[in-house]
Homo-oligomer: A and B are copies of this chain.
Amino acid sequence: MSEPLGVAVLGAGHMGADHVRRLARTAGARVAAVADPDTGRAEQAAAGLDGVRVHAEALAALHQPDVRAVLVASPDATHEEALLAAVARGLPVLCEKPLAPDPGAALRVVEAEARAGRALIQVGFMRRYDTAYRRLKALLDADELGRSLMLHCRHRNVSSPPHFTSSMLISSSVSHEIDAARWLLGQEITAVTVARPRPSSGAPAGLLDPQLVLFETDGGVLVDVEVFVNCGFGYEVTCEAVCERGTARVGDEPAMVVRSKGGARREIAQDYLVRFADAYDREVRAWVRAARAGRTAGPGAWDGYAAAAVAEAGVRALDSGERVTVELAERP
């Protein structure tokens, strides 16, 4: 191994700062630049690390000579421009989901990468790096339980961040299940329906929370997702695959069981950065390793596009109360 990969991190918010720390712990990587319009925040994220340059402009970071790869953790609306610039410069990118805020933008990114003639983009669907999900994937691939028939998914957050909208339950939260289902099954999603109960009084007024999102796949699998972003008790992500000869369930965490006052209690993580800490680590390590070797690993631009297209159909299904079919573009 020669010298470490110089990485520019775009965005120094919660997620970006976390990735800066993660890259700094990873052999083979060096944080070369952090870009954020709030340069104070960028400097804080880089504090304690040597040789990091701070930028207000993402594009300036991309053009820094020792930057050889890019991690995009800036607001969704800025992704397309950053991705196109990175592709233009031939830089490998790890882009936090979503690839882009709408299928049109996502498709432009897919096409730009196709024109570049080389896979450069990985999307941050970190569940593919979670040990439990990987075991489930291996089990399904090994066909031990027969063909998959249904997936029952739960995606629960303690509470939603400010300005979270009813559409974002699908486009932001459920996008993880969209990718996980496509990956676990190796199938495309063809239709979406959204059912929902009367909203919880624990959710902000007007937020349609929880929802039950139903996906159909081209392999005849039915996927239901309970998404409940103000469940109040924990960050809980589980998935049960129902197959022809059995079921397999993942997502119930390792845990300390405390017996006290009448019961036995297992803790639940409160936060996705806690629950998926190891998955994020594996994701970034795998990406750095691949980027240094001039390759990509994990979910690519097409996966980002497909997730955006399905999520967009899901939002229309929520709005209309109807079943909406998903139309994917031709894959370049």
- Residues of A at under 8 Å CB distance from B? 1-2, 24-29, 48-50, 131-132, 135-136, 139, 144-147, 149-150, 152, 193, 195-198, 200-202, 210, 212, 214, 216, 219-222, 224, 226, 228, 231-234, 236, 242, 244-250, 252-268, 270, 278, 285
Contact = CB atoms under 8 A, between A and B. Distances in A.
Nearest to A230: B244
A1 B24 CA distance: 9
B2 A50 contact: yes
Contact of A49 (B1, B214, B261): B1
Nearest to A151: B197
Copies in the complex: 4
Contact of A259 (B50, B222, B233, B250): B233
A263 B260 contact: no
A37 to B, nearest CB: 27
A226 B214 CA distance: 13
B254 A201 contact: no
Contact of A256 (B27, B139, B200): B139
A80 B265 CA distance: 45
A7 to B, nearest CB: 12
Given A29-B27, A258-B247, A270-B262, A149 B200 contact: yes
A64 to B, nearest CB: 19
B262 A264 contact: no
Nearest to A149: B197
A249 B257 contact: yes
Contacts of A278: 278
15 contacts: A25-B27, A27-B29, A132-B254, A132-B255, A144-B260, A146-B202, A147-B200, A152-B226, A196-B222, A201-B244, A210-B242, A212-B222, A232-B260, A233-B260, A234-B263
A5 to B, nearest CB: 11
Contact of A210 (B24, B149, B263, B270): B149
A1 B253 CA distance: 35
A156 to B, nearest CB: 8
A132 B27 contact: no
A262 B24 CA distance: 31
Contacts of A263: 233-234, 265-268
B234 A201 contact: no
Contact of A258 (B139, B195, B200): B139
Of all A-B residue pairs in the complex, the 3 with the closest CB atoms, nearest first, are: A198-B220, A246-B260, A254-B254
